[in-house]
Chain A
Protein backbone atom coordinates (compact mmCIF):
# COMPACT_ATOMS: atom_id res chain seq x y z
CA UNK A 1 0.00 0.00 0.00
CA UNK A 2 2.69 2.47 1.06
CA UNK A 3 4.88 1.40 -1.83
CA UNK A 4 2.03 1.99 -4.29
CA UNK A 5 1.47 5.46 -2.85
CA UNK A 6 5.16 6.27 -3.12
CA UNK A 7 5.21 5.17 -6.75
CA UNK A 8 2.11 7.22 -7.59
CA UNK A 9 3.56 10.20 -5.81
CA UNK A 10 6.83 9.81 -7.70
CA UNK A 11 5.10 9.52 -11.08
CA UNK A 12 3.04 12.58 -10.22
CA UNK A 13 6.14 14.60 -9.34
CA UNK A 14 7.94 13.53 -12.51
CA UNK A 15 4.83 14.51 -14.46
CA UNK A 16 4.82 17.97 -12.92
CA UNK A 17 8.50 18.37 -13.66
CA UNK A 18 8.13 17.46 -17.34
CA UNK A 19 5.01 19.56 -17.73
CA UNK A 20 6.73 22.61 -16.28
CA UNK A 21 9.81 22.11 -18.33
CA UNK A 22 7.75 21.82 -21.53
CA UNK A 23 5.81 24.98 -20.70
CA UNK A 24 9.11 26.73 -20.00
CA UNK A 25 10.47 25.68 -23.37
CA UNK A 26 7.31 26.69 -25.18
CA UNK A 27 7.45 30.12 -23.58
CA UNK A 28 11.09 30.34 -24.59
CA UNK A 29 9.98 29.83 -28.21
CA UNK A 30 7.42 32.65 -27.95
CA UNK A 31 10.02 34.84 -26.33
CA UNK A 32 12.54 34.09 -29.07
CA UNK A 33 9.98 34.97 -31.70
CA UNK A 34 9.30 38.32 -30.11
CA UNK A 35 13.05 39.01 -30.30
CA UNK A 36 12.83 38.60 -34.08
CA UNK A 37 9.84 40.91 -34.06
CA UNK A 38 11.73 43.61 -32.19
CA UNK A 39 14.63 43.39 -34.63
CA UNK A 40 12.28 43.55 -37.62
CA UNK A 41 10.61 46.63 -36.23
CA UNK A 42 14.00 48.24 -35.76
CA UNK A 43 14.78 47.52 -39.37
CA UNK A 44 11.44 48.77 -40.65
CA UNK A 45 12.01 52.01 -38.78
CA UNK A 46 15.15 52.63 -40.79
CA UNK A 47 13.28 52.67 -44.05
CA UNK A 48 11.72 56.19 -44.02
CA UNK A 49 15.15 57.76 -43.40
CA UNK A 50 16.77 55.60 -46.03
CA UNK A 51 14.10 56.53 -48.58
CA UNK A 52 14.47 60.24 -47.73
CA UNK A 53 18.22 60.24 -48.27
CA UNK A 54 18.09 58.16 -51.44
CA UNK A 55 15.36 60.38 -52.90
CA UNK A 56 17.58 63.46 -52.77
CA UNK A 57 20.21 61.95 -55.00
CA UNK A 58 18.51 59.56 -57.35
CA UNK A 59 16.25 60.21 -60.26
CA UNK A 60 15.55 56.81 -61.73
CA UNK A 61 14.78 54.80 -58.60
CA UNK A 62 11.33 56.26 -57.90
CA UNK A 63 9.54 53.01 -58.73
CA UNK A 64 11.62 50.98 -56.28
CA UNK A 65 11.27 53.65 -53.59
CA UNK A 66 7.49 53.72 -53.88
CA UNK A 67 7.42 49.96 -53.64
CA UNK A 68 9.61 50.00 -50.53
CA UNK A 69 7.43 52.64 -48.82
CA UNK A 70 4.34 50.62 -49.65
CA UNK A 71 5.79 47.40 -48.23
CA UNK A 72 6.94 49.19 -45.12
CA UNK A 73 3.49 50.65 -44.39
CA UNK A 74 1.99 47.18 -44.88
CA UNK A 75 4.51 45.66 -42.48
CA UNK A 76 3.74 48.38 -39.95
CA UNK A 77 -0.01 47.76 -39.84
CA UNK A 78 -1.06 46.17 -36.54
CA UNK A 79 -3.12 43.17 -37.63
CA UNK A 80 -0.87 41.05 -39.78
CA UNK A 81 0.30 37.57 -38.93
CA UNK A 82 3.90 36.65 -38.17
CA UNK A 83 4.19 34.72 -41.40
CA UNK A 84 2.99 37.73 -43.41
CA UNK A 85 5.45 39.93 -41.59
CA UNK A 86 8.32 37.61 -42.39
CA UNK A 87 7.22 37.51 -46.01
CA UNK A 88 7.04 41.32 -46.22
CA UNK A 89 10.48 41.52 -44.69
CA UNK A 90 11.87 39.17 -47.32
CA UNK A 91 10.33 41.31 -50.09
CA UNK A 92 11.64 44.49 -48.51
CA UNK A 93 15.11 43.04 -48.20
CA UNK A 94 15.27 42.02 -51.81
CA UNK A 95 14.02 45.45 -52.95
CA UNK A 96 16.57 47.23 -50.80
CA UNK A 97 19.27 44.95 -52.10
CA UNK A 98 18.32 45.86 -55.66
CA UNK A 99 18.42 49.53 -54.69
CA UNK A 100 21.86 49.23 -53.08
CA UNK A 101 23.27 47.67 -56.22
CA UNK A 102 22.06 50.62 -58.27
CA UNK A 103 23.59 53.12 -55.87
CA UNK A 104 26.88 52.54 -57.66
CA UNK A 105 25.53 55.00 -60.24
CA UNK A 106 25.18 57.87 -57.75
CA UNK A 107 28.59 58.93 -56.39
CA UNK A 108 27.05 61.80 -54.41
CA UNK A 109 24.84 59.45 -52.49
CA UNK A 110 27.64 56.97 -51.89
CA UNK A 111 29.65 59.70 -50.18
CA UNK A 112 26.79 61.03 -48.03
CA UNK A 113 27.58 60.49 -44.32
CA UNK A 114 23.95 60.06 -43.46
CA UNK A 115 23.63 57.37 -46.07
CA UNK A 116 26.80 55.61 -44.93
CA UNK A 117 25.45 55.55 -41.38
CA UNK A 118 22.19 54.10 -42.60
CA UNK A 119 24.09 51.47 -44.53
CA UNK A 120 25.99 50.29 -41.45
CA UNK A 121 22.85 50.30 -39.35
CA UNK A 122 21.14 48.29 -42.05
CA UNK A 123 23.87 45.63 -42.17
CA UNK A 124 23.88 45.54 -38.40
CA UNK A 125 20.15 44.92 -38.37
CA UNK A 126 20.56 42.16 -40.96
CA UNK A 127 23.04 40.41 -38.71
CA UNK A 128 20.87 40.94 -35.64
CA UNK A 129 17.82 39.53 -37.37
CA UNK A 130 19.86 36.54 -38.50
CA UNK A 131 20.99 36.06 -34.88
CA UNK A 132 17.42 36.35 -33.58
CA UNK A 133 16.22 33.80 -36.13
CA UNK A 134 18.99 31.41 -35.13
CA UNK A 135 18.08 31.88 -31.46
CA UNK A 136 14.45 31.18 -32.35
CA UNK A 137 15.39 28.03 -34.25
CA UNK A 138 17.55 26.83 -31.37
CA UNK A 139 14.70 27.18 -28.91
CA UNK A 140 12.26 25.53 -31.33
CA UNK A 141 14.65 22.60 -31.76
CA UNK A 142 15.04 22.34 -28.01
CA UNK A 143 11.27 22.33 -27.54
CA UNK A 144 10.67 19.86 -30.38
CA UNK A 145 13.33 17.52 -29.01
CA UNK A 146 11.76 17.45 -25.61
CA UNK A 147 8.26 16.66 -26.89
CA UNK A 148 9.45 14.03 -29.35
CA UNK A 149 11.93 12.21 -27.12
CA UNK A 150 11.02 9.68 -24.48
CA UNK A 151 9.78 10.23 -21.76
CA UNK A 152 8.71 13.75 -22.72
CA UNK A 153 6.84 12.29 -25.69
CA UNK A 154 4.45 10.50 -23.29
CA UNK A 155 3.36 13.71 -21.57
CA UNK A 156 3.41 15.76 -24.75
CA UNK A 157 1.02 13.32 -26.41
CA UNK A 158 -1.37 13.38 -23.45
CA UNK A 159 -1.27 17.15 -23.06
CA UNK A 160 -1.44 17.85 -26.77
CA UNK A 161 1.87 19.66 -27.28
CA UNK A 162 2.62 20.03 -30.99
CA UNK A 163 5.92 20.35 -32.81
CA UNK A 164 6.76 23.79 -34.21
CA UNK A 165 8.44 24.34 -37.57
CA UNK A 166 11.84 26.02 -37.64
CA UNK A 167 12.40 29.11 -39.79
CA UNK A 168 14.19 28.49 -43.05
CA UNK A 169 17.20 30.75 -43.25
CA UNK A 170 17.76 32.38 -46.59
CA UNK A 171 21.04 31.25 -48.08
CA UNK A 172 22.51 34.75 -48.06
CA UNK A 173 21.88 35.13 -44.34
CA UNK A 174 24.21 32.25 -43.54
CA UNK A 175 27.19 34.30 -44.47
CA UNK A 176 27.93 37.67 -42.96
CA UNK A 177 30.34 38.61 -45.72
CA UNK A 178 27.44 38.93 -48.11
CA UNK A 179 26.23 42.01 -46.34
CA UNK A 180 29.53 43.67 -47.09
CA UNK A 181 29.54 42.56 -50.68
CA UNK A 182 26.09 43.97 -51.02
CA UNK A 183 27.29 47.48 -50.25
CA UNK A 184 30.75 47.38 -51.74
CA UNK A 185 29.39 46.08 -54.98
Chain B
Protein backbone atom coordinates (compact mmCIF):
# COMPACT_ATOMS: atom_id res chain seq x y z
CA UNK B 1 0.00 0.00 0.00
CA UNK B 2 2.87 2.36 0.77
CA UNK B 3 4.07 2.34 -2.81
CA UNK B 4 0.51 2.82 -4.08
CA UNK B 5 0.08 6.16 -2.32
CA UNK B 6 3.60 7.29 -3.10
CA UNK B 7 3.16 6.55 -6.80
CA UNK B 8 -0.22 8.18 -7.15
CA UNK B 9 0.73 11.58 -8.57
CA UNK B 10 -2.73 13.14 -8.37
CA UNK B 11 -3.03 12.14 -4.75
CA UNK B 12 0.44 13.46 -3.93
CA UNK B 13 -0.42 16.84 -5.44
CA UNK B 14 -3.62 17.09 -3.40
CA UNK B 15 -1.71 16.12 -0.29
CA UNK B 16 1.04 18.69 -0.90
CA UNK B 17 -1.55 21.45 -1.28
CA UNK B 18 -3.44 20.43 1.84
CA UNK B 19 -0.24 20.12 3.82
CA UNK B 20 0.12 23.93 3.60
CA UNK B 21 -3.34 24.39 5.12
CA UNK B 22 -2.62 21.78 7.76
CA UNK B 23 0.60 23.58 8.81
CA UNK B 24 -1.24 26.89 9.10
CA UNK B 25 -3.99 25.33 11.24
CA UNK B 26 -1.47 23.48 13.41
CA UNK B 27 0.57 26.66 13.94
CA UNK B 28 -2.50 28.73 14.86
CA UNK B 29 -3.79 26.04 17.19
CA UNK B 30 -0.42 25.78 18.94
CA UNK B 31 -0.32 29.57 19.31
CA UNK B 32 -3.86 29.60 20.72
CA UNK B 33 -3.07 26.93 23.27
CA UNK B 34 0.15 28.72 24.34
CA UNK B 35 -1.76 31.99 24.94
CA UNK B 36 -4.43 30.19 26.97
CA UNK B 37 -1.78 28.44 29.06
CA UNK B 38 0.07 31.72 29.59
CA UNK B 39 -3.18 33.43 30.68
CA UNK B 40 -3.92 30.74 33.26
CA UNK B 41 -0.34 30.87 34.49
CA UNK B 42 -0.46 34.65 34.94
CA UNK B 43 -3.70 34.38 36.90
CA UNK B 44 -2.25 31.77 39.25
CA UNK B 45 0.94 33.78 39.65
CA UNK B 46 -1.12 36.87 40.62
CA UNK B 47 -2.90 34.86 43.34
CA UNK B 48 0.35 33.41 44.69
CA UNK B 49 2.13 36.76 44.81
CA UNK B 50 -0.81 38.45 46.50
CA UNK B 51 -2.14 40.57 43.60
CA UNK B 52 -5.24 38.61 42.62
CA UNK B 53 -6.94 41.47 40.74
CA UNK B 54 -3.85 42.28 38.68
CA UNK B 55 -3.37 38.55 38.06
CA UNK B 56 -6.91 38.10 36.77
CA UNK B 57 -6.79 41.13 34.52
CA UNK B 58 -3.37 40.39 33.07
CA UNK B 59 -4.27 36.70 32.70
CA UNK B 60 -7.62 37.34 31.02
CA UNK B 61 -6.12 39.19 28.06
CA UNK B 62 -3.96 36.33 26.67
CA UNK B 63 -6.70 33.85 27.60
CA UNK B 64 -9.28 35.67 25.50
CA UNK B 65 -6.82 36.18 22.66
CA UNK B 66 -5.99 32.45 22.64
CA UNK B 67 -9.69 31.60 22.62
CA UNK B 68 -10.34 33.91 19.69
CA UNK B 69 -7.47 32.34 17.77
CA UNK B 70 -8.90 28.84 18.28
CA UNK B 71 -12.42 30.00 17.48
CA UNK B 72 -11.33 31.67 14.26
CA UNK B 73 -9.39 28.69 13.02
CA UNK B 74 -12.28 26.34 13.76
CA UNK B 75 -14.04 27.00 10.44
CA UNK B 76 -10.81 26.46 8.57
CA UNK B 77 -10.34 23.21 10.48
CA UNK B 78 -13.79 21.91 9.52
CA UNK B 79 -13.18 22.91 5.91
CA UNK B 80 -9.80 21.18 6.00
CA UNK B 81 -11.28 17.99 7.46
CA UNK B 82 -14.05 17.91 4.87
CA UNK B 83 -11.54 18.59 2.10
CA UNK B 84 -9.47 15.68 3.35
CA UNK B 85 -12.44 13.33 3.08
CA UNK B 86 -13.61 14.57 -0.31
CA UNK B 87 -10.22 15.09 -1.96
CA UNK B 88 -7.79 12.68 -0.36
CA UNK B 89 -10.10 9.81 0.51
CA UNK B 90 -12.16 10.51 -2.60
CA UNK B 91 -9.07 10.34 -4.82
CA UNK B 92 -7.87 7.19 -3.12
CA UNK B 93 -11.28 5.61 -3.74
CA UNK B 94 -11.28 6.56 -7.41
CA UNK B 95 -7.76 5.23 -7.71
CA UNK B 96 -8.96 1.87 -6.43
CA UNK B 97 -12.17 1.73 -8.47
CA UNK B 98 -13.91 4.38 -10.57
CA UNK B 99 -17.32 3.49 -9.11
CA UNK B 100 -16.39 4.34 -5.52
CA UNK B 101 -17.36 7.62 -3.88
CA UNK B 102 -17.56 9.09 -0.39
CA UNK B 103 -20.28 11.27 1.12
CA UNK B 104 -18.83 12.52 4.42
CA UNK B 105 -22.10 13.83 5.84
CA UNK B 106 -24.15 10.73 5.00
CA UNK B 107 -24.16 7.33 6.66
CA UNK B 108 -26.24 4.32 7.54
CA UNK B 109 -29.47 5.41 9.20
CA UNK B 110 -30.46 4.20 12.66
CA UNK B 111 -33.44 2.37 11.15
CA UNK B 112 -31.15 0.36 8.88
CA UNK B 113 -28.83 -0.25 11.82
CA UNK B 114 -31.72 -1.91 13.66
CA UNK B 115 -32.88 -3.65 10.47
CA UNK B 116 -29.63 -5.65 10.38
CA UNK B 117 -30.91 -7.46 13.51
CA UNK B 118 -27.35 -7.68 14.79
CA UNK B 119 -28.11 -5.42 17.74
CA UNK B 120 -30.97 -5.87 20.12
CA UNK B 121 -30.72 -2.56 21.99
CA UNK B 122 -32.32 0.56 20.50
CA UNK B 123 -29.74 3.34 20.47
CA UNK B 124 -30.44 6.53 22.49
CA UNK B 125 -27.67 8.39 20.72
CA UNK B 126 -26.71 7.57 17.17
CA UNK B 127 -23.96 9.05 15.01
CA UNK B 128 -23.05 8.03 11.51
CA UNK B 129 -20.80 9.52 8.83
CA UNK B 130 -18.52 8.83 5.88
CA UNK B 131 -20.73 6.77 3.62
CA UNK B 132 -18.66 5.06 0.94
CA UNK B 133 -20.55 3.37 -1.86
CA UNK B 134 -19.80 1.75 -5.17
CA UNK B 135 -19.43 -1.64 -6.71
CA UNK B 136 -16.77 -4.26 -7.09
CA UNK B 137 -17.47 -5.90 -10.43
CA UNK B 138 -21.15 -7.00 -10.28
CA UNK B 139 -21.65 -6.54 -6.58
CA UNK B 140 -22.93 -3.26 -5.18
CA UNK B 141 -21.81 -2.42 -1.68
CA UNK B 142 -21.62 0.45 0.80
CA UNK B 143 -20.23 1.04 4.24
CA UNK B 144 -20.20 3.79 6.82
CA UNK B 145 -18.89 4.62 10.24
CA UNK B 146 -21.45 4.13 12.99
CA UNK B 147 -21.42 4.94 16.68
CA UNK B 148 -24.52 3.80 18.56
CA UNK B 149 -24.95 4.22 22.31
CA UNK B 150 -27.58 3.67 24.93
CA UNK B 151 -27.85 5.49 28.25
CA UNK B 152 -28.43 4.42 31.80
CA UNK B 153 -29.79 6.86 34.35
CA UNK B 154 -28.99 6.28 38.00
CA UNK B 155 -30.82 8.26 40.71
CA UNK B 156 -28.94 9.16 43.84
CA UNK B 157 -30.18 11.40 46.62
CA UNK B 158 -28.91 14.65 45.17
CA UNK B 159 -28.46 14.06 41.48
CA UNK B 160 -29.36 11.95 38.49
CA UNK B 161 -26.34 10.51 36.74
CA UNK B 162 -26.53 9.67 33.05
CA UNK B 163 -23.99 7.26 31.65
CA UNK B 164 -23.48 6.37 28.02
CA UNK B 165 -22.51 2.87 26.89
CA UNK B 166 -21.52 1.67 23.45
CA UNK B 167 -23.88 -0.63 21.58
CA UNK B 168 -21.60 -0.57 18.62
CA UNK B 169 -18.73 1.50 17.35
CA UNK B 170 -17.13 0.73 14.03
CA UNK B 171 -18.00 0.14 10.41
CA UNK B 172 -21.19 -1.38 9.03
CA UNK B 173 -20.71 -2.92 5.62
CA UNK B 174 -23.58 -3.92 3.33
CA UNK B 175 -23.48 -5.77 0.01
CA UNK B 176 -25.84 -7.54 -2.34
CA UNK B 177 -25.64 -11.23 -1.69
CA UNK B 178 -25.29 -13.57 -4.64
CA UNK B 179 -28.15 -15.89 -3.74
CA UNK B 180 -31.86 -15.35 -3.36
CA UNK B 181 -33.39 -16.08 0.01
CA UNK B 182 -36.42 -15.04 2.06
CA UNK B 183 -35.52 -15.63 5.69
CA UNK B 184 -33.02 -14.24 8.13
CA UNK B 185 -29.66 -15.71 9.09
CA UNK B 186 -27.57 -14.15 11.85
CA UNK B 187 -23.94 -14.91 12.63
CA UNK B 188 -22.75 -13.42 15.90
CA UNK B 189 -19.55 -13.66 17.91
CA UNK B 190 -19.63 -16.46 20.42
CA UNK B 191 -19.15 -15.22 23.94
CA UNK B 192 -20.41 -16.91 27.05
CA UNK B 193 -23.87 -15.34 26.94
CA UNK B 194 -24.36 -16.12 23.25
CA UNK B 195 -23.16 -19.69 23.68
CA UNK B 196 -25.55 -20.25 26.56
CA UNK B 197 -28.41 -18.65 24.64
CA UNK B 198 -27.78 -20.95 21.69
CA UNK B 199 -27.66 -24.02 23.91
CA UNK B 200 -30.84 -22.91 25.64
CA UNK B 201 -32.71 -22.32 22.38
CA UNK B 202 -31.53 -25.61 20.89
CA UNK B 203 -32.26 -27.79 23.88
CA UNK B 204 -34.99 -26.15 25.90
CA UNK B 205 -36.92 -23.33 24.43
CA UNK B 206 -36.45 -21.02 21.50
CA UNK B 207 -37.47 -17.37 21.64
CA UNK B 208 -38.86 -15.65 18.59
CA UNK B 209 -38.71 -16.98 15.09
CA UNK B 210 -35.01 -17.77 14.88
CA UNK B 211 -33.53 -21.12 15.82
CA UNK B 212 -29.93 -21.85 16.73
CA UNK B 213 -28.14 -23.47 13.82
CA UNK B 214 -25.32 -25.87 14.44
CA UNK B 215 -22.90 -25.96 11.56
CA UNK B 216 -20.45 -28.71 10.75
CA UNK B 217 -17.42 -26.43 10.53
CA UNK B 218 -15.99 -26.76 14.05
CA UNK B 219 -13.85 -23.60 13.97
CA UNK B 220 -16.79 -21.61 12.66
CA UNK B 221 -19.03 -22.97 15.38
CA UNK B 222 -16.44 -22.09 18.01
CA UNK B 223 -16.06 -18.52 16.76
CA UNK B 224 -19.70 -17.70 16.04
CA UNK B 225 -23.22 -18.57 17.03
CA UNK B 226 -25.61 -18.82 14.12
CA UNK B 227 -29.34 -18.19 14.24
CA UNK B 228 -31.72 -18.58 11.36
CA UNK B 229 -35.38 -18.66 10.45
CA UNK B 230 -34.89 -21.79 8.35
CA UNK B 231 -32.35 -24.56 8.96
CA UNK B 232 -32.00 -25.43 5.28
CA UNK B 233 -31.93 -21.87 4.00
CA UNK B 234 -29.22 -20.85 6.46
CA UNK B 235 -27.09 -23.70 5.19
CA UNK B 236 -27.89 -22.74 1.61
CA UNK B 237 -26.34 -19.35 2.42
CA UNK B 238 -23.54 -20.60 4.67
CA UNK B 239 -21.94 -23.18 2.42
CA UNK B 240 -18.77 -24.89 3.64
CA UNK B 241 -16.82 -22.65 1.26
CA UNK B 242 -18.42 -19.44 2.55
CA UNK B 243 -17.83 -20.43 6.17
CA UNK B 244 -14.13 -20.80 5.42
CA UNK B 245 -14.10 -17.40 3.73
CA UNK B 246 -15.88 -15.74 6.63
CA UNK B 247 -13.35 -17.23 9.03
CA UNK B 248 -10.47 -15.92 6.99
CA UNK B 249 -12.10 -12.47 6.82
CA UNK B 250 -12.63 -12.54 10.55
CA UNK B 251 -9.00 -13.45 11.02
CA UNK B 252 -7.98 -10.21 9.31
CA UNK B 253 -10.24 -8.07 11.47
CA UNK B 254 -9.09 -6.95 14.88
CA UNK B 255 -12.32 -7.81 16.73
CA UNK B 256 -14.76 -10.61 15.98
CA UNK B 257 -17.18 -9.55 13.26
CA UNK B 258 -20.94 -10.17 13.09
CA UNK B 259 -22.90 -10.90 9.94
CA UNK B 260 -26.54 -10.92 8.98
CA UNK B 261 -28.24 -12.07 5.81
CA UNK B 262 -31.60 -10.41 5.22
CA UNK B 263 -33.66 -10.15 2.04
CA UNK B 264 -30.82 -11.05 -0.30
CA UNK B 265 -28.48 -8.58 1.34
CA UNK B 266 -25.54 -9.17 3.59
CA UNK B 267 -24.46 -6.94 6.47
CA UNK B 268 -21.15 -7.16 8.27
CA UNK B 269 -20.37 -5.22 11.45
CA UNK B 270 -16.71 -4.52 12.13
CA UNK B 271 -16.12 -3.17 15.63
CA UNK B 272 -13.29 -0.61 15.70
CA UNK B 273 -11.93 1.68 18.33
CA UNK B 274 -10.75 4.56 16.25
CA UNK B 275 -12.26 7.09 13.92
CA UNK B 276 -11.55 6.58 10.27
CA UNK B 277 -10.98 9.18 7.59
CA UNK B 278 -10.12 11.94 10.10
CA UNK B 279 -7.55 14.41 8.82
CA UNK B 280 -4.50 14.74 11.07
CA UNK B 281 -3.66 18.21 12.43
CA UNK B 282 -0.38 17.67 14.23
CA UNK B 283 0.94 14.93 11.96
CA UNK B 284 2.21 15.50 8.45
CA UNK B 285 -0.04 14.49 5.59
CA UNK B 286 3.05 13.75 3.55
CA UNK B 287 4.02 10.97 5.88
CA UNK B 288 2.72 7.97 3.91
CA UNK B 289 1.62 6.15 7.05
CA UNK B 290 -1.06 8.76 7.82
CA UNK B 291 -3.04 8.21 4.67
CA UNK B 292 -2.11 4.57 4.29
CA UNK B 293 -4.06 3.46 7.29
CA UNK B 294 -7.24 4.92 5.80
CA UNK B 295 -6.49 3.53 2.38
CA UNK B 296 -5.92 0.05 3.72
CA UNK B 297 -9.31 0.27 5.44
CA UNK B 298 -10.94 1.11 2.11
CA UNK B 299 -9.02 -1.64 0.37
CA UNK B 300 -10.04 -4.11 3.04
CA UNK B 301 -13.73 -3.26 2.58
CA UNK B 302 -13.42 -3.37 -1.20
CA UNK B 303 -11.77 -6.78 -1.08
CA UNK B 304 -14.55 -8.31 1.01
CA UNK B 305 -16.57 -8.85 -2.15
CA UNK B 306 -13.69 -10.80 -3.66
CA UNK B 307 -12.85 -12.51 -0.39
CA UNK B 308 -16.40 -13.81 0.04
CA UNK B 309 -16.71 -14.56 -3.68
CA UNK B 310 -19.89 -12.52 -4.05
CA UNK B 311 -19.35 -12.02 -7.77
CA UNK B 312 -20.03 -15.63 -8.59
CA UNK B 313 -23.61 -15.49 -9.83
CA UNK B 314 -24.62 -18.98 -10.78
CA UNK B 315 -27.62 -19.30 -8.51
CA UNK B 316 -30.21 -17.47 -10.52
CA UNK B 317 -29.66 -14.00 -9.06
CA UNK B 318 -28.16 -11.18 -11.15
Contact = CB atoms under 8 A, between A and B. Distances in A.
Interface in B227-253: 231-233, 235-236, 239-242
B312 interface: yes
19 contacts: A35-B231, A35-B232, A39-B232, A123-B315, A128-B236, A131-B232, A131-B236, A131-B239, A132-B232, A132-B235, A134-B216, A135-B232, A135-B235, A138-B214, A138-B215, A141-B214, A142-B214, A175-B240, A177-B241
A94 interface: no
Interface in A134-158: 134-135, 137-139, 141-142
Range for the number of chain B residues in contact with chain A: 20 to 34
Interface of B: 179, 202-203, 213-216, 231-233, 235-236, 239-242, 312, 314-316
Contacts of A35: 231-232
A123 B180 CA distance: 13
Contact of A131 (B203, B233, B312, B316): B233
A120 B316 contact: yes
Contact of B231 (A21, A32, A179): A32
Given A124-B316, A127-B179, A130-B239, 19 more contacts: A32-B231, A35-B231, A35-B232, A123-B315, A127-B236, A128-B232, A130-B235, A131-B233, A131-B235, A131-B236, A132-B232, A138-B215, A138-B216, A139-B231, A176-B240, A176-B241, A179-B314, A180-B314, A183-B314
Nearest to A182: B314
Given A134-B216, A175-B241, A127 B315 contact: yes
A27 interface: no
B231 A138 contact: yes
Q: Which of B202, B203, B216, B232 has the most CB of A within 10 A?
A: B232
Contacts, number: 62
A74 B247 CA distance: 42
B239 A176 contact: yes
Range for the number of chain A residues in contact with chain B: 20 to 34
Nearest to A39: B232
Interface of A: 21, 32, 35, 39, 117, 119-121, 123-124, 127-128, 130-132, 134-135, 137-139, 141-142, 174-177, 179-180, 183
B184 to A, nearest CB: 16
Contacts of B312: 177, 180
A127 B239 contact: yes
B232 A120 contact: no
B314 A120 contact: yes
A117 B17 CA distance: 54
A115 to B, nearest CB: 14
Contacts of B203: 21
4 nearest A-B pairs in the assembled complex, by CB-CB distance = A131-B235, A131-B236, A120-B316, A135-B231
Contacts of A180: 312, 314
B240 A174 contact: yes
A183 B316 CA distance: 14
A117 B202 CA distance: 38
Nearest to B318: A120
